[in-house]
Amino acid sequence: MPQFRNVTDDTLWVVTDRGLEKVEADAILPVSEEFAAMVYFQTGDTGETALWAAVSAPAAKKAAAPVETSTPDPAAEPTN
């Protein structure tokens, strides 16, 4: 679900697909994928004053890298 942070010092009122929503300064507004695709969020990408900043989703935890182990080769010559 896309999320946008109010980066202004003001309370913003936004009409979303859920109705009129009050978004305090520095608060996050979650919106549906469909709504985010239909509307423009003024993020400053095109040179205008930014009102919103896209909030990225938390990074998924990466699986631990496999631990490489070496098994002695019984046919190998001893090293000492």
3-class SS string, the chain: CCEEEECCCCCEEEEECCEEEEECCCCEEECCHHHHHHCCCCCCCCCCCCCEEEECCCCCCCCCCCCCCCCCCCCCCCCC
Specify the pLDDT at position 76. 66
What pLDDT, on the 0 to 100 scale, is given for residue 77?
A: 67
Q: How far apart are CA 41 and CA 8, in angstroms?
A: 13
Q: What is the pLDDT of residue 21?
A: 96
Residue ranges of the chain whose pLDDT lies below 70? 57-80
Report the pLDDT value the prediction gives residue 62, as an integer from 0 to 100.
Answer: 58
Whether residue 4 contacts residue 55, with contact meaning beta carbons closer than 8 Å, is answered with yes
